[in-house]
Amino acid sequence: MRLRFLLRPNWVVLTLVVFLFATACFLLLSPWQWGRHNERDARNEAIERSLSSPPRPIEQVLPDGTAPSADTVWSRVEVTGTYLPDAEVIARLRSVHGEPAYEVLTPLRTPSGDTVLIDRGYIAPNDQVGVPDYAPPPDGEVTVIARVRTDEADPKGRAAFTPSDADTPHVYAIDSTVVADETGLDLRPGYFQLTPHQPGVLNPLPLPRVNAGPFLSYSMQWIAFGIMALAGWLYFTVRESKPGGALRGSAQRASGDGGRRAKKPRRKSVAEQLAEDEAAEQPLPVPGRVAEQRRDDG
């Protein structure tokens, strides 16, 4: 039977590996990159929409304390209130333009009694990799324009802490619930990133680059890898099913020999090898000289 080789253990293992890899390409890896591509597209559209739309009051964008969503993130809102510098928090392990940075988070209380978390921008660490001195927020009531941001998530779920050489608490992710637990304030969900030239801004955070990124091509590449794996398996399956296949040929040779292995040639001894070498080194006889030697011997 031509397809009997498909039941060989090595071919079964190869088939399982190929089909598992192809399944991962089609159902896991490619959709994962496709999802990242869609997320990048949604972010780019939100940023471009915010650039062309004027800022609106926060209650119009996020009424009744609504949490930021994909439809409202990056929108510019106008917030009026008073900074609460005593409840300030530092976000650590940040990166701006490829350089390490800290971000300063200061709550702001509105006249209605709501409290929002304002990201005042970033500061570069000092020579001791610590938080340098920075300008405090202005006193009194201010009106600022900020971009809506969703809460970040710390994969390790770490709480805020105060380093031994600092007085201000630090957080690993900008999460309003973590800051609320540390400061005891009732903060609205999400946080708000100040735009340039606003009261209390330090170094304004740059906007992400608006580009598609490589995720779409990565998604197509994983599909191509899965197709190539299946095509290669199919090619070798067809080749082995025909006469002359490597597996079938070896099986036929084994059955033709009656299951006996061919005997290996006997290894020559050292004496036999030396005798062959001496014979090879002797000069070939010359016909004239052989005849003269025979007359001399006679």
Tell me, yes or no, whether 95 and 183 share the same domain: yes
Tell me, yes or no, whether 183 and 119 share the same domain: yes
Tell me, yes or no, whether 128 and 234 share the same domain: no
- Judge whether 47 lies within some domain: no
pLDDT at 44: 78
Lookup: tokens for 93: 């392990």
Q: How confident is the model at residue 264 (pLDDT cuts 50, 70, 90)?
A: low
Q: Which residue blocks in the chain are alpha helix, DSSP H? A: 9-24, 30-52, 58-61, 176-183, 215-241, 246-256, 270-281, 287-297
Quick one: average pLDDT of 39-46? 80
Tell me, yes or no, whether 37 and 155 share the same domain: no
pLDDT at 140: 94
pLDDT at 194: 96
Give the residue with greater pLDDT, 18 vs 210.
18
- Judge whether 295 lies within some domain: no
Distance between CA 46 and CA 150 in Å, rounded? 13
pLDDT at 166: 85
The answer to whether residue 248 scores a pLDDT higher than 80 is no
- Judge whether 189 lies within some domain: yes
Tell me how many degrees the CA angle 297-285-278 measures, rounded to the nearest 5: 105
- Judge whether 29 lies within some domain: yes
Token pair 């005849």 is at which residue? 291
Distance between CA 91 and CA 173 in Å, rounded? 6
Cβ atoms of 68 and 250 within 8 Å: the answer is no
- Judge whether 171 lies within some domain: yes
Tell me, yes or no, whether 168 and 133 share the same domain: yes
User: pLDDT tens digit string along 98-130?
Assistant: 899 999 999 999 999 999 999 999 999 987 678
The answer to whether residue 209 scores a pLDDT higher than 90 is no
Domains of the chain: total: 2
The answer to whether residue 64 scores a pLDDT higher than 60 is yes
- Judge whether 74 lies within some domain: yes
Distance between CA 106 and CA 128 in Å, rounded? 24
Residue 231, domain extent: 2-42+214-250
Please give the share of the chain, as a percent, with pLDDT higher than 90. 53
- Judge whether 291 lies within some domain: no
User: pLDDT tens digit string along 266-277?
Assistant: 666 666 766 776
Distance between CA 90 and CA 183 in Å, rounded? 12
Contacts of residue 279, defined as CB under 8 A and 6 or more positions apart, other chains included, come to none
Terminal C-alpha separation, the chain: 76
Quick one: average pLDDT of 184-193? 95
Tell me, yes or no, whether 109 and 231 share the same domain: no
The answer to whether residue 279 scores a pLDDT higher than 90 is no
Distance between CA 145 and CA 79 in Å, rounded? 6
Lookup: tokens for 242: 């025909």
189-212 burial code (b ≥16 CB/10 A, e <16): bbbbbbbeebebbbbbbeeeeeee
Tell me, yes or no, whether 73 and 36 share the same domain: no
pLDDT at 298: 55
Tell me, yes or no, whether 70 and 157 share the same domain: yes
pLDDT at 48: 80
Nearest CA among 80, 103, 95 for reference residue 198? 80
Contacts of residue 117, defined as CB under 8 A and 6 or more positions apart, other chains included, come to 105, 106, 107, 108, 174, 176, 179, 187, 188, 190, 191, 192
Tell me, yes or no, whether 76 and 134 share the same domain: yes
Q: How confident is the model at residue 53 (pLDDT cuts 50, 70, 90)?
A: confident
Tell me, yes or no, whether 144 and 227 share the same domain: no
